[in-house]
Amino acid sequence: MENKERLGRARGKEELIHSSEIEFRIPKEIEGWIEKVEKKDLYLSKPATDDQGQVIVTSSQAKPTKITLPLSKSGLVGGLKKEVGEAVRWLAEWCLRLIKINPGGVLFKTKKIES
């Protein structure tokens, strides 16, 4: 196992530059037994469980979800204009935080039309 290193000159200073890739030398005796595995995205359709049924491993990639906020756009704008001591202001701030955390994954509350 070798780690590639080289000295680099930047603005008159010498610094050690480390490569992020590590080279492995496989002995010829076991070369046929080992296959190279490339780094791929892995998704488990259902979580792996042990003998007792407890979850050991779940999928590392969560499916994107849509969040429906408890305020409409006008309610959010109006809530941000209220005083800090009012609860609707804090609800609007929380909704704004969710929008910043999940851009494109947030839906506003819609008014239901009853017929």
61 is written with which tokens?
């990639």
Instruction: Decide if pLDDT at 13 tops 60.
Output: no
Mean pLDDT computed over every residue of the chain: 76
What's this model's pTM, rounded to 2 decimal places? 0.45
Q: Which amino acid is at 104?
A: G
Which is more confident, 8 or 75? 75
pLDDT digits (tens, 9 = 90+) for 54-109: 888 776 666 677 889 999 999 999 999 999 999 999 999 999 999 998 888 889 98
Cβ atoms within 10 A of the Cβ of 76, count? 20
- Angle among Cα 92, 98, 104 to the nearest 5 degrees reads 120
What distance in Å separates the CA atoms of residue 86 and residue 78, rounded to the nearest whole number?
12
What is residue 18's predicted lDDT score, i.e. its pLDDT?
Answer: 57
